[in-house]
C-alpha cells in the first residue's frame, strides 16, 4: 500500500513514517520544512518539499496515486493561533481542504486526520473526556482542528471518502523541538540539560495527558491496518499529570540543580484535560505501552546524545 504522509519530517509525523516503512508500506512525505527537519526524514520515503496549501499538491496526487493519506501537517502552536488566527485557519482549514479534495479526486481509500484531544474540548465539563464530550474550544487552534473533522464527515457522506480522526493528547518524546513554543517536555529537557532555567507558565497546576510518541506511531499504524468505522478516536493515557510534576520528574532524571520558577500564564490554554481512550482500545486494539517515567527517561536519553 502507498501512504502519503503530510508533516512527515516533523516530530510526530517522522515517527509515523518510520512505523509505516517498518511495516512494509510505501511512503511519500509532503512537508514544507517550516518546522520539520531533513534530519528527521527517513531516507526510504519519497520526499516532496511542498506546502499543503500549494496547488502543486494536485500533481503529487496525480503522479503518486496514494492509497491512503495520513495528515499530520499543521500550524500546531496554540499561542500562535491566538496571535495570528488568520494564518492558523489558512494552514489548518484551507490546507486540509486542499488535501481532502485531492484525496477525493484521486480515489484515496482512507484519510487519517490528526486532530487535538486537548484543544478541541476546551475546559472539560466531565473528566476524562471521551469522544462524545461537547466541542467548546477556547483557542483558534482547537476551532480549526475540529472544523476539518466536519469536512471529513461531509466528504464521507457525500463522496464516500472513508476517514479516521485521531485526537491526540499531549505527545512527547525524541525529536520534539526543545526550542519551540509548544512541547513542555522537550523545552524543559533542553533547558535543564544545558544548565538553563526552565520556566513554568502560571502556577503549574494545570494538568495534561502525556502520551509517548512511540505509542502514537503505533496508533497510526493500527488506523491504517485494522478494519474500523469512520469517526474520531481519542489517543491518550487517561492519566492527568501537572506541569509541576513534569518539572520535578525531569529535574530528577536530568540531575538539574535549577529551582522551580514560575512565569505568567499563557492565553488560550486549557486548565485541566485528560482523555478516555476506551473507543480506540475496543475498535483499533490500541492502548499505551510506555509509562510516563520510562518515556521521560527515553526522551532525556535522546537529548543527551551529541
The number of helices, as runs of H, and strands, as runs of E, in the chain is 11, 13
**Which cell numbers hold the place of 182?**
509548544
Which residue out of 20, 141, 163, 274 is catalytically annotated? 141
Query: Phi/psi of residue 91, each to 5°?
Result: -75, -50
**Which cell numbers hold the place of 306?**
551529541
> Which has the closest alpha carbon to 109: 148, 54, 164?
164
What per-residue string of b and e applies to 155-176 under the rule 16 or more CB within 10 Å gives b?
beeeeebbbbbbbbbbbbbbbb
Q: Is 274 a catalytic residue?
A: no
Exposed, middle or buried by CB within 10 Å (0-12, 13-18, 19+), for 112? buried
Hunting for cell 514560575 — which residue is that? 262
User: What are the DSSP calls for 89-156, one per residue?
Assistant: HIIIIIHHHHHHHHHHHTT-SEEEEEEETTTTT-S-SSSSB-TTS----SSHHHHHHHHHHHHHHHHH
User: What are the DSSP calls for 146-165, one per residue?
Assistant: HHHHHHHHHHHHHH--EEEE
Residues in the chain, total: 306
Query: Phi/psi of residue 154, each to 5°?
Result: -65, -40
Distance CA 149, CA 179 (A): 30
Which residues are known catalytic residues? Answer: 141
Amino acid at each position: 500500500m502507498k501512504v502519503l504522509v503530510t508533516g512527515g519530517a516533523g516530530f510526530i509525523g517522522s515517527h509515523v513514517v518510520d512505523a509505516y516503512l517498518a511495516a512494509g508500506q510505501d511512503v511519500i512525505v509532503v512537508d514544507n520544512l517550516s518546522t520539520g527537519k531533513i534530519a528527521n526524514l527517513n531516507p526510504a520515503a519519497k520526499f516532496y518539499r511542498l506546502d499543503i496549501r500549494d496547488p502543486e499538491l494536485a500533481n503529487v496526487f496525480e503522479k503518486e496515486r496514494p492509497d491512503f493519506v495520513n495528515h499530520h501537517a499543521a500550524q500546531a502552536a496554540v499561542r500562535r493561533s491566538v496571535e495570528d488566527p488568520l494564518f492558523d485557519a489558512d494552514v489548518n482549514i484551507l490546507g486540509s481542504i486542499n488535501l481532502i479534495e485531492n484525496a477525493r479526486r484521486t480515489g484515496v481509500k482512507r484519510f487519517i486526520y490528526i486532530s487535538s484531544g486537548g484543544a478541541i474540548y476546551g475546559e472539560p465539563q466531565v473528566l476524562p473526556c471521551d469522544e462524545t464530550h461537547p466541542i467548546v474550544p477556547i483557542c483558534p487552534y482547537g476551532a480549526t482542528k475540529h472544523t476539518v473533522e466536519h469536512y471529513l464527515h461531509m466528504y464521507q457522506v457525500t463522496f464516500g471518502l472513508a476517514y479516521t480522526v485521531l485526537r491526540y493528547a499531549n505527545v512527547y518524546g525524541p525529536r520534539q523541538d526543545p526550542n519551540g513554543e509548544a512541547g513542555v517536555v522537550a523545552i524543559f529537557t533542553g533547558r535543564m540539560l544545558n544548565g538553563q532555567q526552565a520556566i513554568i507558565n502560571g502556577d503549574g497546576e494545570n494538568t495534561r495527558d502525556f502520551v509517548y510518541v512511540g505509542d502514537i506511531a503505533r496508533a497510526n499504524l493500527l488506523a491504517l491496518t485494522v478494519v474500523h468505522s469512520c469517526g474520531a478516536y481519542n489517543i491518550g493515557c487517561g492519566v492527568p499529570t501537572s506541569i509541576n510534576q513534569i518539572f520535578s520528574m525531569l529535574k530528577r532524571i536530568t540531575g538539574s540543580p535549577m529551582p522551580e520558577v514560575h512565569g505568567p500564564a499563557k492565553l488560550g490554554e486549557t486548565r485541566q484535560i485528560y482523555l478516555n481512550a476506551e473507543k480506540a482500545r475496543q475498535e483499533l486494539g490500541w492502548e499505551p505501552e510506555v509509562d510516563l517515567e520510562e518515556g521521560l527517561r527515553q526522551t532525556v536519553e535522546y537529548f543527551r546524545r551529541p
